[in-house]
Amino acid sequence: MSDFQSFRNAVLEDDDLQEQVISIVNTATANGSGLGDGIATLAKNHGYSITSEEVYAHADFLGQDGDLTDFELEMISG
């Protein structure tokens, strides 16, 4: 399993990580940039090795395992 997928699974299982991801998304949206770097840094701080390029390469990860999780639905709805 790739570190991206492992980190994704960790986020889906941890409310605190979900809040941190949402904060990064909101900040990046407000600033117009920084999403990839922010997510990659968060992942690194939790022991995963992913790059900002991987974050963008996996932008279609929502729902890739079937039904969307509640967190993924929240990400879509903003």
State the Cα angle at 28 between 1 and 72, rounded to 5°: 45
Q: Give the domain range for residue 69.
A: 3-77
Residue of 55, 56, 73, 67 lying closest to 18 (CA atoms): 73
**Residue 22 or residue 75, greater confidence:** 22
User: How large is the average pLDDT for residues 50-72?
Assistant: 70
Residue 12 clears pLDDT 60, i.e. is over it: yes
What digits encode the pLDDT tens for the residues 16-58? Answer: 998 898 898 889 888 988 889 999 999 999 999 999 998 888 7
Higher pLDDT, 68 or 26: 26
pLDDT score at 63: 47
Tally of structural domains, the chain: 1
